[in-house]
Amino acid sequence: MKIVAVIPAYNEEQRIRNSAEDAGRFVDTVVVVDDCSKDKTGEVALTAGAHVLRHEINRGQGAALQTGTDYAVQNLEADIIVHFDADGQMQGADIPKMIEPILNSEVDIVLGSRFLGAESNMPLSRRLTLWLALLFTRLVSGIKISDTHNGFRALSKYSAQNIKISLDRMAHASEILDLIKLKNLKFVERPVMIKYTADTLAKGQSFMSGFIVLKDFIKSKFID
């Protein structure tokens, strides 16, 4: 079984080496998708041993994940694809338990959760935003899940071929859950550790950006 980590990255030259090397300890290959960074993200990722793909315009995390996932399946013949963040919040040590249910042929996709027992230093404001997103997702998609916008996930080759992300930016997380329900893919959640810092919180979703994500998802689902 070939396991490939896909890491979308934008202006992460200070953190991409650690993230790529951390994930690389638990997978066969790391693919970094440089989403038209203005710094040396791509160059640093190369020195960390990653395959590096580059968008010539900044398209967003959803587009970067789809680019990397397609490359992993089509060019690297990956059997399992792990979506992993560039900012150091995720822990490579969680990868084995994320891929285990797929290795055992129990499910098609494994979703990481910050709310299933793993310790977290998540601020209250972030918890509130995620709680609102959870309620919305359950209402719209009908999928019962504890953490709707955690980017840590593992996909079998089958699920990767059936989940095609069309929303380029952050609304892709809701779109993926919608596609899991639509395609009747088997999934399970696993607790993961997410470590927040002042820098990552500043770059992450705010309460207002959360509403923008929901707006984009609603537009794509009911209007476009």
pLDDT tens profile 98-130:
999 999 999 999 999 988 875 565 666 666 666
**The pLDDT value given to residue 146:** 85
pLDDT single digits (tens) 66-105 = 999 999 999 999 999 999 999 999 999 999 999 999 999 9
pTM of this prediction exceeds 0.75: yes
Q: Pick the range with the lowest mean pLDDT from 45-54, 71-80, 175-184.
A: 175-184
**The pLDDT value given to residue 27:** 99
Dist CA 218 CA 174 (whole Å): 10
Q: Where are the alpha helices (DSSP H) in the chain?
A: 16-24, 41-47, 61-74, 95-103, 124-141, 157-162, 172-182, 198-203, 207-218
What's the whole-number mean pLDDT along residues 168-177? 80
Kindly tell me if the per-residue pLDDT of 208 is higher than 80.
Answer: no
Strand bridging mode 109-113 / 187-191: parallel
- Using alpha carbons, list the distances in angstroms from residue 56 to 10, 30, 106, 135, 181: 12, 20, 39, 36, 33
CATH number at residue 23: 3.90.550.10
Kindly tell me if the per-residue pLDDT of 25 is higher than 70.
Answer: yes
Domain range for 153: 3-223
How many domains does the structure of the chain reveal? Answer: 1
Strand bridging mode 109-113 / 51-54: unpaired
